[in-house]
Structure 1
Amino acid sequence: MFNILKKSWELAMIIITAILSILFFIFLVMFPEFTYLAPIFLLFGSLITASLNIYMNRIHEAQKEERAMKRVMTNVRNTILQNRKIASDYSKKALSPTQKFNQLNSGFWDIISANATILEINGEELGQIMDIKMVTDEINGLILTRNDIINPASDNVASAFSLSRTSTPLSTVAYTLRKKLDLLIQKSDNYLSLDS
């Protein structure tokens, strides 16, 4: 709100200065005997130029920040969309005893943290991103556990159905992983539908 008022005030000052300069120029044309006031006219011209320069620089900075914010949020949305696609694929293959999974990308939170000064995210959107981050971290932990269980699969496929070092069967981890992947898909869809 303060920025809007400040910009309005700056614009009003530029308009007032321009009007006074024009009136002074008309005054000098109508009454040439007051030409000794010409330096005042030059001063008003300088003020107009300086004011316009300041105003245009502030507009340019505001537009630059807005473009930077859009780029950051586009990166976040693209990462979440990519994770959603991978989660959909992994959800179908969670019980596969031979296929290792790669962890999902949770770097979108780092992007938000690094650019917190320029981002203006509302509370609901930030909450959704935090929920997605937490589920993504849980999924990454489950993927590590799952990969640990199927690690001996390269030697013997049957050993993949055995217990891991943590004594957790693959079916239990796969079931939990599938539930978390489906939850991530749902939360991602909710978040990605905000702008749609």
Structure 2
Amino acid sequence: MLNKEKNSWELTTIAIAVILSILFFIFLLLFPEFTYLAPIYLLFGMLITAALNIYMNKKHDAEKEERAMNRVLTNVRNTILQNRKIAADYSEKALSPTQKFYQLNSGFWDIISANATILEINGEELGQIMDIKMITDEINGLISTRNDIITPVSDKVTSAFALSKTSTPLSTVAYTLRKKLDILIQKSDNYLSQV
């Protein structure tokens, strides 16, 4: 759409320049004593055309930057929403000794870091995203611990407490995990309701 708009402005500029050129040519035919104005007229037309092109290029660049920023923030919000849905599911199944959990996606912070130059995020929104990222990292650590505890059970080797890499019982990790998941859900809901 922007290319069509830019092309229409360029066509309008060209049409105006052509019409004014024809009118000036007719004026010079009717009044030949004013031929000394021709170079001034041409210079004036070139300046108008150049100014319009500079304006349209700046407008196009600003809109392109805004679209890029919106794409990045949409990706971040979609990732947070997806993590929120997974967190709600995991919160219900935290005590299940047979179901292995997968890590939540914390790549949204990398997206923000990589695109920091184009993003115009206010401090409050950035703080909320940082909180969500930190709690996501904590949850991922708890998921790793939980998976280490239940791995022997899911492999049907022996009890979860006999061969687990940690001596922490599943119930303690599951309780902490459920608590952190609920915090993530709440923070995600708060963030997503503001945007």
Q: Could you say what secondary structure the match of 1:193 adopts?
A: helix
Per the alignment, residue 167 of structure 2 pairs with 167
Per the alignment, residue 92 of structure 1 pairs with 92
State whether residues 94 and 177 of structure 1, in contact with CA within 8 Å, keep that contact through their aligned partners in structure 2: yes
Per-residue deviation at 1:37?
1.3
TM-score by length of structure 1 reads: 0.82
Amino acid at match of 2:134: M
TM-score by length of structure 2 reads: 0.82
Amino acid at match of 1:39: P
State whether residues 161 and 169 of structure 2, in contact with CA within 8 Å, keep that contact through their aligned partners in structure 1: yes
> What is the aligned-residue RMSD (CA, Å)?
2.1
In structure 1, the gaps of 5 or more residues are 1-17
Measured in 2, the distance between the counterparts of 1:173 and 1:154 equals 17
In structure 2, the gaps of 5 or more residues are 1-16
Check if 1:148 corresponds to 2:145: no
Amino acid at match of 1:132: I
State whether residues 80 and 188 of structure 1, in contact with CA within 8 Å, keep that contact through their aligned partners in structure 2: yes
Per the alignment, residue 182 of structure 2 pairs with 182
Per the alignment, residue 120 of structure 2 pairs with 120
Q: Could you say what secondary structure the match of 1:135 adopts?
A: helix
Amino acid at match of 1:53: N
Per-residue deviation at 1:153?
1.0
| Number of aligned positions between the proteins | 172
Per-residue deviation at 1:156?
3.0
Measured in 2, the distance between the counterparts of 1:165 and 1:125 equals 39
Deviation readout 1:62-118 (Å, 9 max, x if unpaired): 000000000000000000000000000000000000000000000000000000000
Per the alignment, residue 12 of structure 2 pairs with none
Per-residue deviation at 1:160?
2.5
State whether residues 152 and 164 of structure 2, in contact with CA within 8 Å, keep that contact through their aligned partners in structure 1: no
Deviation readout 1:171-193 (Å, 9 max, x if unpaired): 00000000000000000000000
Deviation readout 1:103-162 (Å, 9 max, x if unpaired): 000000000000000000000000000000000000000000000000101343861255
The alignment-based identity, stated in percent, is: 84
